[in-house]
């Protein structure tokens, strides 16, 4: 995995996590909103995993 891959994956996963966490506030009340709001654990996991990829990218880049 190259440095650019780490950064790209980290940003994409963190973005997905943020969308999952914030989307219940913007979606009209419906069954889909209930499903999305119940998946907050997945959103937090994605956000933390994305942050870990970004931190790893920063550490690898710092060593160079």
pLDDT tens for residues 18-56? 999 998 888 888 888 888 888 889 999 999 999 999 999
The structural domain count of the chain equals 1
User: How far is residue 50's CA from residue 19's CA, in Å, rounded to a whole number?
Assistant: 13
User: How far is residue 4's CA from residue 57's CA, in Å, rounded to a whole number?
Assistant: 8
Report the predicted TM-score, pTM, of the whole model to 2 decimal places.
0.84
Alpha-carbon distance values, 36 to 12, 18, 28, 33, 40 (Å): 19, 12, 12, 5, 7
pLDDT at position 45 is 97
Domain that holds residue 53: 3-63
Neighbouring residues of 19: CB distance < 8 A, sequence distance ≥ 6: 43
């Amino acid at each position: 995995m190259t440095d650019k891959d780490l950064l790209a994956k980290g940003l994409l996963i963190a973005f997905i996590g943020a969308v999952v966490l914030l989307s219940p506030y913007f979606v009209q009340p419906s069954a889909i909103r209930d499903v999305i709001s119940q998946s907050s654990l997945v959103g937090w996991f994605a956000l933390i995993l994305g942050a870990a990829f970004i931190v790893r990218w920063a550490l690898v880049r710092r060593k160079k």
